[in-house]
Amino acid sequence: MKISELLKTKEVTISCELFPPKKGSELKKAHEVVQEMAKVKPSFMSVTYGASGGISEHTVDLANEVQNVNGVLALAHLTCASSSRDKIQEVLGELRGHKIENILALRGDIPEGLDFPLPGQYHHASELMEEIRAFGDFCIGGACYPEGHPEAESIEADIDNLKRKVEAGCEFFTTQMFFDNNILYNFLYRALKKGIEVPVVAGIMPVTNAKQIKRIASLSGTILPQRFRAIVERFAGHPAALKQAGIAYATEQIIDLIANGVGHVHIYTMNKPDVAGAIFANLSEIYQAKA
């Protein structure tokens, strides 16, 4: 099934995310994570592609595991910053071979030291989207940034570039994480005003450990509301309490989103089936009632 259809027909969808291992020897463990994660019955599961702009050898394998072994709709990420056009064609062929119809098409971060763009290769995600569209019969999603992409001149300019993605075939967006829902509501209003009418899936990151918080703080532009910072400060020295508070914070964000008409939510579950399980359990009635 195409995710564009799912988002049209369901009032509420809740999806989650996996990242593939770097080494092939760790694939077995990753397959176990998929199996555990599938038990919460997400609307779909996304599989990331080569963090920090690198290419990924295991995304297709894991997406196949999600969809064809565990029966959950898969969304395969694909980045192009450090890929050749031939490599992209190869991956598209593999996805087609596994009947995976949904791709989140991204530029990817530009790897340090890479002379970007590679000659004759990709500058932006929209070029990758055009190529996927030409390949035919994939549902294409893209990334958007409620607080603006760090390289963008302004949020307005960034939204103009989202329009280019829609023109290139993007049928839905998934947002970067945000910790204050008002930021998302403001972004949705601005995007709609610029004529962006494709569904936007809100990306929620349950912050469950101190390492994640450091990473988020280093992401330029992500606003951490006082309410969130207070939780981190209070529970930083108590990992189990921080995890519980992080799950509660994410749950509350999701309930507020759904109550305000943002029915499509993607949880950055970071290969943690227990975190996914806890959030889905918190939302069981809400998810069942509206899905």
Taking the complex as a whole, the smallest distance from the CB of residue 178 to ligand FAD amounts, in Å, to: 10
Taking the complex as a whole, the smallest distance from the CB of residue 28 to ligand FAD amounts, in Å, to: 22
- Residue 248: exposure state from Cβ atoms within 10 A (0-12, 13-18, ≥19): middle
Q: Are strands 13-18 and 264-267 parallel, antiparallel or unpaired?
A: parallel
Taking the complex as a whole, the smallest distance from the CB of residue 116 to ligand FAD amounts, in Å, to: 11
Q: Which two tokens stand for residue 264?
A: 């499509």
Residue 131 in contact with residue 107, Cβ under 8 Å?
Answer: no
Nearer of residues 54 and 225 to ligand FAD, judged by Cβ = 54
Q: How far apart are CA 61 and CA 95, in angstroms?
A: 9
Nearer of residues 105 and 278 to ligand FAD, judged by Cβ = 105
**CA distances to 86, 103, 142, 289 from 76, in Å:** 18, 5, 11, 28
Q: Which two tokens stand for residue 112?
A: 């340090």
Taking the complex as a whole, the smallest distance from the CB of residue 31 to ligand FAD amounts, in Å, to: 19
The residue behind tokens 């030409």 is: 134
Taking the complex as a whole, the smallest distance from the CB of residue 118 to ligand FAD amounts, in Å, to: 14
Q: What residues are labeled active site?
A: 17
Residue 78 in contact with residue 50, Cβ under 8 Å?
Answer: no
Nearer of residues 72 and 103 to ligand FAD, judged by Cβ = 103
Nearer of residues 231 and 272 to ligand FAD, judged by Cβ = 272
Nearest to 132 by CA among 162, 163, 168: 168
In sequence order, which ranges of the chain are alpha helices (DSSP H)?
3-9, 27-38, 59-64, 85-97, 125-135, 155-167, 181-193, 210-218, 226-235, 239-259, 273-282, 284-290
Concatenated DSSP letters for 7-53? HHH-S-EEEEEE---SSGGGHHHHHHHHHHHHTT--S-EEE---GGG
Nearer of residues 9 and 220 to ligand FAD, judged by Cβ = 220
Taking the complex as a whole, the smallest distance from the CB of residue 20 to ligand FAD amounts, in Å, to: 9
- Binding residues for ligand FAD (CB under 6 A): 48-51, 53, 77, 79, 104, 106-109, 124-126, 143, 149, 151-152, 158, 161, 164-165, 174, 176, 203
Nearer of residues 61 and 109 to ligand FAD, judged by Cβ = 109
